[in-house]
Amino acid sequence: MPDSAYLLPAYLLLGLPFLGFLLLWIGGKSLNKIAGWAGALVTGAGLVISLLYSDPGVLHSVTFHWLTIGDTSIDISFRFDTLTCVMLAVVHFVALLVQLYSTAYMHDDKNLHRYFSFIQLFLFSMIGIVLSGSLLVMYIFWELVGLSSYLLIGFWYFKPRTVWAAQKAFVMNRIGDAAFLTGILMLFYYIGSTDFEVLSLKIDSINPGILTAIGLCLFGGCMGKSAQFPLSGWLPDAMEGPTPVSALIHAATMVAAGIFLLARISFLLTFDARLVITIIGTITMLIGAFKAMKVWDIKRVLAYSTMSQLGLMVIAVGFGSWQTALFHLATHAFFKAGLFLSAGSVIHAVTPSESDPSFDPQDMRTMGGLRKALPITFICFSVCAAALAGLPFFSGFLSKDAIITEGFLWAARYGALGYIFPIIVIFSAGLTAYYMFRQIWLVFFGETRSHVSPSVHPHESPVVMWLPMALLAMLSLFFWFSWNPFDAAGWFLSFIDPHESAHLAWVPAVASAVTFVAICLAYREMRTENPFHVKTPESNTMAASKLSWLRDFFNDHYFIIPFDFITRYLKIFEKHVIDAFIDLIAKGSVVLGHLIGWFDKIFVDGGVNLTVFSIRSAGQAARSLQTGKIQSYYIVTAVGVFLLILWLVVM
């Protein structure tokens, strides 16, 4: 198919969601009843177009002139390649299921037209990033994603915490975006273009040191959107928004944009830049995993898990394997969206029918024993959690082991110290299994604790909610990505990269062993008499008498406290350095606004008012001379003649 034939799908893929946004926004509350189905219809049409125009392994580029500045011509280009095909399918499919789910989850909301219009705007922005053929066009849609995510996270604007979370996400992303823009401008200065095709041909002309700086600046954009340390603080707080929004933003769209960016620019990342990226990804992965082990909010566990998994994808790019990063992005999109939707089903089931401010429907300590009341939700959540934990026969096992394998191959090329990173990844995989089994046990096993609120009556969600969950759970199984449950080198990796993928037979065995040990430790922890770590006089005695040496080794004194110490000081750093910097920017903006307002009032408005006053005064003076009386004209003439004669005499 010729490249020109791809102009129509580009217009349709961008035009349909933007048109949906406009119609739903303008239609107002009168469209509340059909807003969800209309949005799902538009997204479904986009999914069909994406699949029809998938042509893996072949690059199709559509370019047209935008504007000319001096001697510089700026073009807009759309790019269709394997990376585009995968992302379009994943984004559209997850967005479609989220909107179907939202029709039931959000049905009592009075502003559904606004909710679904924001989703369409978000989809328009994300598709723009995916289709972009240049960094300049990508940056335009990048900022639109930031705006639309702000609108979605802050959808319940009447809640102060929600507004604060949306503002925090917006401001922290602006910091990363400033670095991203700096990298784009540097590329334009040295090469004269931001088009990916031109960059790939001329990138060798840039000094390696400068190229490293450019790569790290571009990575700054990823740090913001994909919540990498130290710009990761906004992600857990974004849980204040509606749960379906969390599934959309934190699974397949916004947070995936940073990984997509790294995959797109991987050809210009030097070894030094990749090393820095790997280190930051490792820090993010560990912080997210340890935080997920300590929180009790069902959505925040998944948020910190997302942060950890994004760090893993960044590490994969640092290893020089954007293909495995994209592989894990695709598998993660399905099982993490399934987990968020399942968590929403749990919250929906245990939310009190009457207002009860003392009961938190998101606190896992108020749940327990829900597998009988929510059998479908339990199965879907467990399948998706198994995929996230990396258990065999699930998709996460394949993509995670592919990254670990690439890590060991990378370390073999660059020295013994490089082995630290894949070993840490295996360790982090164990932590993931630990906190996911802990979450399953707290929510679905043990005694029922939701009775603390008399108006809580757990019940299964309607079919329009559990059907998307079931589809995502099915896509978390291995055979959708590889026919061999123990080898990631299946059709999906071949689809992304036709070259033969590496396989180390011992990696799945070691990773699986670590995962099962972590599950056993979590099981033992949850079976204790004090799983919530409530301090009682018997706590120390119980720990000394009932726990084995293995548990002693992994208990708080030897395992969690050192990392808890690190995370505590990282939190202090975030509060007193990062948040303080953000507050400084905000307060500086307010002060600057007041100064500009004062300058505008005194000098600009004052100058205009002075001009008006002068003209008015001159007009009044001139008008006073035009009285219409001949006597007045005679006197003025006489005075003028007298003054003229006086001047001639003096001269």
Lowest mean pLDDT among 280-284, 321-325, 576-580: 576-580
> Which whole-number Å values give the CA distances from 244 to 225, 449, 501, in the listed order?
18, 25, 36
pLDDT tens digit sequence for 216-246: 999 999 998 988 988 888 888 888 888 898 8
> For residue 313, which of 354, 334, 336, 282 has the smallest C-alpha distance?
282
% of the chain exceeding 90 in pLDDT:
35
Mean pLDDT of the 260-274 span: 92
Whether the predicted pLDDT of 558 surpasses 90: no
Contact 325, 263 (CB under 8 A): yes
Contacts of residue 156, Cβ cutoff 8 Å, sequence gap at least 6: 162, 240, 241, 242
Q: Which residue has the higher pLDDT, 424 or 505?
A: 424
d(CA 129, CA 118): 17
Whether the predicted pLDDT of 572 surpasses 80: no
649: exposed, middle or buried (C-beta count within 10 Å: 0-12, 13-18, 19+)? Answer: exposed
Residue 114 DSSP SS3:
helix
Q: Which two tokens stand for residue 90?
A: 């994943």
pLDDT tens digit sequence for 169-209: 888 888 899 999 999 999 998 988 888 888 988 888 889 99
Lowest mean pLDDT among 10-24, 35-49, 374-388, 525-539: 525-539
Whether the predicted pLDDT of 358 surpasses 70: no
Whether the predicted pLDDT of 550 surpasses 70: no
Q: How confident is the model at residue 589 (pLDDT cuts 50, 70, 90)?
A: confident
Local structure of residue 558 (DSSP, 8 states):
I
pLDDT tens digit sequence for 141-172: 999 998 998 999 988 888 888 888 888 888 88
Q: How confident is the model at residue 542 (pLDDT cuts 50, 70, 90)?
A: very low
Sign of CA dihedral 623, 624, 625, 628: positive
Lowest mean pLDDT among 259-273, 286-300, 379-393, 570-584: 570-584
Q: Which residue has the higher pLDDT, 581 or 651?
A: 581
Q: How confident is the model at residue 212 (pLDDT cuts 50, 70, 90)?
A: very high
Whether the predicted pLDDT of 129 surpasses 90: yes
pLDDT tens digit sequence for 468-478: 999 999 999 98
Lowest mean pLDDT among 47-51, 135-139, 375-379, 625-629: 625-629
The per-residue pLDDT of the chain, averaged, comes to 83
d(CA 250, CA 618): 66
pLDDT for res 185: 92
Most confidently modeled range among 27-31, 322-326, 363-367: 322-326
Residue 67 DSSP SS3:
strand
Whether the predicted pLDDT of 274 surpasses 80: yes
Mean pLDDT of the 446-451 span: 69
Whether the predicted pLDDT of 427 surpasses 90: yes
Contacts of residue 115, Cβ cutoff 8 Å, sequence gap at least 6: 35, 102, 106, 109, 152, 155, 242
Mean pLDDT of the 568-591 span: 72
Whether the predicted pLDDT of 211 surpasses 80: yes
Mean pLDDT of the 525-535 span: 62
Residue 61 DSSP SS3:
strand
Q: Which two tokens stand for residue 626?
A: 């035009």
Q: How confident is the model at residue 536 (pLDDT cuts 50, 70, 90)?
A: very low
Whether the predicted pLDDT of 1 surpasses 70: no
Neighbours of 398 (CB within 10 A): 30
Q: How confident is the model at residue 627 (pLDDT cuts 50, 70, 90)?
A: low
pLDDT for res 625: 56
Cα end-to-end distance, the chain, whole Å: 93
pLDDT for res 283: 93
Q: How confident is the model at residue 450 (pLDDT cuts 50, 70, 90)?
A: low
State yes or no: cis peptide before 375, omega within 30 of 0. Answer: no
What amino acid is encoded at 91 in this protein?
Answer: V
Contacts of residue 314, Cβ cutoff 8 Å, sequence gap at least 6: 222, 226, 228, 258, 259, 262, 277, 278, 280, 281, 284, 325
d(CA 364, CA 359): 11
Half-sphere exposure of 356 (CA within 13 A, CB side): 16
Residue 4 DSSP SS3:
helix
Contact 326, 405 (CB under 8 A): no
Q: How confident is the model at residue 325 (pLDDT cuts 50, 70, 90)?
A: very high
pTM of the model: 0.80
Radius of gyration of the chain measured on its C-alpha atoms: 31
